[in-house]
Amino acid sequence: DPSALEVSQDPLSQRLAQVFGYRAFRDGQREVIERVCAGEDCLVIMPTGGGKSMCYQLPALLMEGLTLVVSPLISLMKDQVDSLLQTGVAAAYLNSSQPREQSLEVLRQLRFGELKLLYVSPERLLRPDFIERLQSLPLAMFAIDEAHCISQWGHDFRPEYAALGQLKQYFPHVPLMALTATADQATRASICERLGITPYSLLASFDRPNIRYTVAEKLNAANQLRQFITAQKGNSGIIYCSSRRRVDEVAERLRQQGFNAGAYHAGMTQEERATVQDGFLKDRLDIVVATVAFGMGINKSNVRYVVHYDIPKSVEAYYQETGRAGRDGLDAEAFMLFDPADIGRVRHLIEQSEPGPQQQVEFHKLNSMAAFAEAQTCRRQVLLHYFDESALEPCGNCDICLDPPKRYDGSQDAQKVLSCIYRLGQRFGINHVIEVLRGAKAAPVLDRGHDKLTTWGIGKDKSHEYWLSVIRQLIHLGLASQDISRGSAIRLNPAARPVLRGELVLMLAEPRIQLITGKRRTSQ
Ligand code: ADP
Ligand code: ZN
């Protein structure tokens, strides 16, 4: 077998096999390893699970001197070092949480050159006494993991990372590798600028073909969630919510419905959180309902689904969070419930913040996320384009591809809604309009005599969810607006006139209420 011969002749592949037991490099690993061994700075952008660690672990063994790995997460450091020690690589970590004797021992090993890899937190690395210590040692390179933390464009800015910009000044000749799983064009540029490098860049593919993306209009979130999880039959999953209060609510409701669910957010004690995390990792707990505090560094390969109960903060965050599903390469689901009103709510929050560059960043992120959620084209294409990756063909494994949005002549239903809004004096919110349309006999309707209106009950043949979706589309199309300053009352815009007069055919999208089940194309 000639390829086997080739492998055995190539020293890099030999080391990969000998030390780590892998037969071949993954996409991009070899190029990065060769570049850094030649002394070049590198920027490595690979999706989570893509094999970033190997890009510095193998060179660390091949190069002269010590490799420093900067990592923001103490738990992750320990895991990595443990597995390196198991494969016989001399590695250690230094951080603020370890006992003093342990850190003294690490410093001793350092002095005697007994270590190949040392993991440190950024603040530990940049302590002046430690920098001084390093300046007297032979150094192979610096690897900066989760490098997006240095950038305000990233989804997880950490001030202690910003100081890493000093490294190139202290150690101009030591190659520097920045690694991250999430970085759009702006984040990439900002990482390089802040670190002061013009690196060789590796951009691995971000596609996760085994994840099926679905965005459903949020109409009756509790039912939609229940339906989705029931179909999952006890699989492991994560449900992200935007607030602690919501996390508690949803977790409690799921437990009442008989699901095996735990909650996780920063308002809980360390122990409570550890118990939930551990239960999830060891498959004692099927579901974790969480804020974004949960997940970074969670290494669980059989997460079968990730639900976004509320809109994520940005496309990067969405990609990162959904990326926790299906690390084992088997089919997995990313399911998002989308309420267009959330966009307005978040926009309103941002408007209240201090004007300046950070505010612009937030607006940009929100707009990108809104564009993703509202897209009528293949979700994967939108996502990959966001990361500047070309994707020429629709994927066949997202809700849009599997069940393309259908259009229908919605002129009559639009007229019903618009005239109902008009009869109500343009002074009532969405729910009241729907109540009247559907002929409800609820007190707020009867008390105001709205059951006497000619539009009362003209829409009783359709569901609440249906009318909600139609009204949202009318708002989206500019025919009506919601007046935030007047209790979210809906009013008509001039564009509504031709529709009301029957002069215009209005095509609407069929509401995407149902879940798609059992239509999966197998991912290859
Ligand atoms: P990342 O840091 O990019 O999320 P890791 O470095 O943790 O990913 O790698 C993910 C998994 O892939 C690990 O279990 C790692 O051992 C494995 N891996 C890395 N490189 C290879 C390779 N060339 N062949 C097979 N498995 C690999
Ligand atoms: Zn698609």
Among protein residues, the one whose CA lies closest to atom 13 of ligand 1: 51
CA distance 314 to 172: 35
**Could you list which residues have their CB under 5 Å from ion ligand 2?**
378, 380, 394-395, 398, 401
**Ligand 1 contact via 179 beta carbon (within 6 Å):** no
Determine how many CB atoms are found less than 10 A away from the CB of residue 468.
21
What SS3 state is found at 429? coil
CA distance 238 to 102: 36
Which of these, 83, 17, 54, lies nearest to 143 by C-alpha position? Answer: 54
CA distance 195 to 192: 5
pLDDT number for residue 399? 94
Which of these, 287, 355, 341, 371, lies nearest to 469 by C-alpha position? Answer: 341
Question: 466: number of CA atoms within 13 Å, CB side?
Answer: 13
Q: With contact defined as beta carbons under 8 Å apart, do 181 and 96 qualify?
A: no
Determine how many CB atoms are found less than 10 A away from the CB of residue 291.
19
Among protein residues, the one whose CA lies closest to atom 20 of ligand 1: 51
Q: How far is the CA of 282 from the centre of ligand 1 (A)?
A: 21
From the CA of 58, the nearest ligand is: 1
Is the whole model's pTM more than 0.80, yes or no? no
**Ligand 1 contact via 51 beta carbon (within 6 Å):** yes
pLDDT number for residue 516? 39
From first to last of the 524 residues of the chain, give the pLDDT tens digit: 444 544 456 889 999 999 999 888 988 999 999 999 999 999 999 987 789 999 999 999 999 999 999 998 887 888 899 999 999 999 999 988 889 999 999 999 999 999 999 999 999 999 999 999 999 999 999 999 999 999 877 667 888 899 999 999 999 999 999 999 876 788 889 999 999 999 999 998 889 999 999 999 898 999 999 999 999 999 999 999 999 999 999 999 999 999 999 999 999 999 999 999 999 999 999 999 999 888 866 778 899 999 999 999 889 889 989 999 998 889 999 999 999 888 888 888 899 999 888 888 888 888 889 889 988 789 998 898 887 787 778 899 999 999 888 889 999 999 999 999 999 999 999 999 999 999 999 999 999 999 999 999 999 999 988 998 899 888 878 889 887 667 678 999 998 999 999 998 999 888 765 443 434 433 33
**CA quadruple 432, 435, 437, 440: dihedral sign:** negative
Token pair for residue 247? 């996390």
**Ligand 1 contact via 49 beta carbon (within 6 Å):** yes
What 240-243 contacts at long range (C-beta under 8 Å, 24+ apart), as own/partner pairs, is 240/290, 240/291, 240/292, 240/294, 240/306, 240/307, 240/308, 240/309, 240/310, 240/312, 240/321, 241/289, 241/290, 241/291, 241/309, 241/310, 242/291, 242/309, 242/310, 242/311, 243/291, 243/310
Token pair for residue 188? 């990439």
**Ligand 1 contact via 50 beta carbon (within 6 Å):** yes
CA distance 505 to 183: 43
Mutate-to-test residue for ligand 1 from 15, 22, 71, 296, highest number of ligand atoms within 8 A of CB: 22
Which of these, 336, 365, 337, 371, lies nearest to 349 by C-alpha position? Answer: 365
Q: How far is the CA of 373 from the centre of ligand 2 (A)?
A: 13
CA distance 44 to 25: 15
Work out which ligand 1 atom sits closest to the CA atom of 16.
23
What are the residues whose beta carbons fall under 8 Å from the beta carbon of 227, sequence distance 6 or more? 515
What SS3 state is found at 98? coil
Encoded amino acid at 94, one letter? L
**Ligand 1 contact via 206 beta carbon (within 6 Å):** no
Q: How far is the CA of 505 from the centre of ligand 2 (A)?
A: 29
pLDDT number for residue 2? 45
Which of these, 200, 152, 155, lies nearest to 177 by C-alpha position? Answer: 200
DSSP H helix total and E strand total for the chain: 24, 17
CA distance 119 to 91: 8
ipTM above threshold 0.95: yes
CA distance 380 to 78: 35
Angle (nearest 5°) at CA 324 between 323 and 325: 85
pLDDT number for residue 513? 56
| Strands of 265-397, DSSP E | 287-290, 303-308, 332-338
How far separated are the first and last CA of the chain, in Å rounded? 27
Q: How far is the CA of 354 from the centre of ligand 2 (A)?
A: 38
Among protein residues, the one whose CA lies closest to atom 2 of ligand 1: 52
The rounded Cα 262 to chain-centroid distance in angstroms is 20
What SS3 state is found at 462? coil
**CA quadruple 169, 170, 174, 175: dihedral sign:** negative
pLDDT number for residue 109? 96
CA distance 464 to 469: 9
**8-state DSSP, 419:** H
CA distance 296 to 292: 8
Encoded amino acid at 450, one letter? H
Q: How far is the CA of 161 from the centre of ligand 2 (A)?
A: 36
pLDDT number for residue 5? 46
Q: How far is the CA of 298 from the centre of ligand 1 (A)?
A: 14
Q: With contact defined as beta carbons under 8 Å apart, do 244 and 267 qualify?
A: yes
What SS3 state is found at 312? coil
Q: How many residues does the chain have?
A: 524
Work out which ligand 1 atom sits closest to the CA atom of 299.
7
pLDDT number for residue 9? 61
DSSP calls for 324-357: TS-TTSS-EEEEEEE-HHHHHHHHHHHHHSPPSH
Mutate-to-test residue for ligand 1 from 7, 15, 20, highest number of ligand atoms within 8 A of CB: 20
